[in-house]
Structure 1
């Protein structure tokens, strides 16, 4: 198995306040999809104030191109490839061991060896785990301050997947939901703090894990509002005379695939029957075959990956977020809001985002309601600008402010950075 290890980069020029081991299930660079957007900003903030030792995995070969940028801000890096077949083989092993398949995917000897060596040679002050699958890698180190960023409850996403599937896959998904729910409770009990991407998600987990309720925090995602600025969008990518509605996201992600299919087959026919000039654009990388097939339907276009999604958002009449399987705050919704777009969202897609005065669009999972709202905005001579949405982003979803809270949870001011390695020996029992 190949791993890439980094050497100290530019981190030495920052104002260092102790060291952090950051274990992440996917390389947090570039910020081109939901979970990587949050992990990217967390990594950048940590590197400004701490020596960061990053242990992570690459499941997309394109991410290797960004390794030097990651190494430049970290004290050391261990990156292990995660191929589809390797992941499936490890998941099968987890099935035999009666543990979550997700945990099996990240059971990696190279990563474990690197962590063990790091603990002996560098004595980090804290460990941050990002996504439940990597939490077992930190379980042996009970003497360390350990923080778990669940982002959202993976177990509930698997439960939602199970509800949408029958047969053997439904059985496997239900098993994974149960196993992950048990792991999430154990991790929350053993770790010093647990973090979720919204207060609503945190509140739900407190009910599921009441013994750990006082250690659970909701810390919002943010938006780079300087980047997601409608004034920087550039010319329209759409054809003359088109009135486009756009759905943006990674189109190999199961929740997005389901959302695109539902909107295309349940909502879109009602819209296109009334407006022949309306177009539904599905914009995002790696469309699954089921998504490509939607491009054969009248009035629907699938773009695949584009260099910059901002023009596609800025010049659309509305952005849709028709997710039916979702947890936590959806970055695609916040980005559309920052671009002053009318947003047509399902309740699942809007979860974790508080309503606000001046919001334009709809929050509904009824095809007729969403179609009627879309037609209302398509009647305008040009796309409306939802100024209140951007104002809301600027006041509540700025990364700098939200990451201040994040850093205080990870390294409380009372923590001594000179505590050394005492007590970092592997523990035994339920939390080992």
Structure 2
């Protein structure tokens, strides 16, 4: 096996945690094909327990502790240097030293970067092929925050949006390929970084259909006779916080007016204070961390994804579909997912449609079951991880041009690769 350096901003485990699903499958896939040298951060004390499991997949590894509060304070110094806050947030001397020693001690010709701030550790080795998985256009996320947050937060988010976009463009220009999680994200970045259009592609997220299966024997966490609407996600992540706040206050009351026994259950770790306050509303439950989200999805009447700000693929939607559950989505939550509205998911085109769509679905159990079965079939047909990662394999193994530069294939055998 040949050697490969993998840089990931957060430890890629556990594999069923929303923001780590893609990085976990990336590591697993690469470890089966290369001797992987992994550098990553651990920003949650609970995640140290996973280090031995991740380490066993790697030829060598470095796990740098990251305290989010200290990192946020440290990132403010970036303002003085006119650079993105995210770069200083993920800046670490020990990681730089480990990467330098590893690159100097092994014949590493391939570097894979997961998340733009980690690209700062991949500089200085022009002979190595560098593939960057940016996942989403993060700068656009910060721009959306700036539009929705009050001053002075809006000012800081606007600053980060412009500086991070500048850095994302540099990363793409310096890389052999810059990949995203969906065709819309890739198209958006092509418009923002036209100088790198030929380097930009995408591969979509997959789903572990064996793990997220409707056939498991899951204990029912809900009270009998109370149809549950379930939202799953990291509940300290602002787009999720915004989604559940809007749904609980502006949508769910209309549902309960017609179905008084209905409940809205918010499942996810680290609920922000404003999310915890929602538990005071009639019919709303906030679980906090649960050992397994699958029982909540399996026994829900509906899965809901009412996101108003979203970037890339929503794993929560794919996982609920894999469990043969009818998912009611906003347009933002459906972006980049290959699913037919009306037969594989239920789409609420406008905010005013959400309650009506849910009420109609609650009243028609046979239709819900049929949509759930179709959703499962769609995931099985379109979202296997190995097929999704085939584009990356082709890039990493592409022949080199004279002079050592990698030749990016014009026609990679994957529908997910879409060059300008």
Provide the TM-score with structure 1 as the length reference: 0.89
Match of 1:175?
159
- Whether 1:144 and 2:128 are equivalent positions in the alignment is yes
Shift in Å, 1:106: 1.4
- In terms of mean alpha carbon deviation, does 256-265 or 380-389 score higher? 380-389
Shift in Å, 1:217: 1.1
Cα displacement string for residues 118-176 of structure 1 (whole angstroms, at most 9, x for unaligned residues): 12111311111111111111122222111110001110000111111121211000000
1:377 is matched with which residue: 353, 361, 381? Answer: 361
Match of 1:409?
395
Match of 1:393?
379
2:256 is matched with which residue: 272, 279, 282? Answer: 272
Q: Distance in 1 between matches of 2:88 and 2:292?
A: 35
Cα displacement string for residues 35-79 of structure 1 (whole angstroms, at most 9, x for unaligned residues): 310000000111111010101101111111011111111011111
Q: Distance in 2 between matches of 1:54 and 1:282?
A: 34
Match of 1:43?
27
Q: Distance in 1 between matches of 2:198 and 2:217?
A: 43
Q: Distance in 2 between matches of 1:90 and 1:412?
A: 40
Cα displacement string for residues 285-333 of structure 1 (whole angstroms, at most 9, x for unaligned residues): 1111111110110011111111111121111111001111111111001
Shift in Å, 1:201: 1.0
Shift in Å, 1:84: 2.2
1:217 is matched with which residue: 201, 206, 216? Answer: 201
Match of 1:426?
none
Q: Is the 8 A contact 1:266 1:367 kept in 2?
A: no
The within-5 A match list for 1:174-253 is 174-253=158-237
Q: Distance in 2 between matches of 1:290 and 1:32?
A: 25
- In terms of mean alpha carbon deviation, does 122-131 or 351-360 score higher? 351-360
Q: Distance in 2 between matches of 1:145 and 1:266?
A: 50
RCO higher in structure (CA 8 A, sep ≥6) = 1
Q: Is the 8 A contact 1:91 1:104 kept in 2?
A: yes
Structure 1 moving runs of 4+ over 6 Å = none
Match of 2:416?
none
Match of 2:150?
166
Q: Distance in 2 between matches of 1:295 and 1:242?
A: 16
RMSD after superposition:
1.9
Q: Is the 8 A contact 2:4 2:109 kept in 1?
A: yes
The within-5 A match list for 1:86-165 is 86-165=70-149
Shift in Å, 1:31: 2.1
Shift in Å, 1:413: 5.4
Q: Distance in 2 between matches of 1:316 and 1:404?
A: 34
Q: Is the 8 A contact 1:151 1:328 kept in 2?
A: yes
What stretches of structure 1 of length at least 5 have no aligned partner? Answer: 1-16, 420-432
Q: Secondary structure at the match of 1:52?
A: strand
Match of 1:65?
49
Q: Distance in 2 between matches of 1:143 and 1:171?
A: 40
1:351 is matched with which residue: 329, 335, 340? Answer: 335
What stretches of structure 2 of length at least 5 have no aligned partner? Answer: 406-420
Q: Distance in 2 between matches of 1:413 and 1:265?
A: 56
Q: Is the 8 A contact 1:361 1:373 kept in 2?
A: no
Q: Is the 8 A contact 2:341 2:347 kept in 1?
A: no
1:362 is matched with which residue: 334, 346, 358? Answer: 346
Q: Is the 8 A contact 1:130 1:150 kept in 2?
A: yes
Match of 1:291?
275
Q: Distance in 1 between matches of 2:270 and 2:341?
A: 36
Q: Is the 8 A contact 1:78 1:114 kept in 2?
A: yes
- In terms of mean alpha carbon deviation, does 87-96 or 331-340 score higher? 87-96
Q: 1:93 to 1:228 in 2, by over 3 A?
A: same
Provide the TM-score with structure 2 as the length reference: 0.92
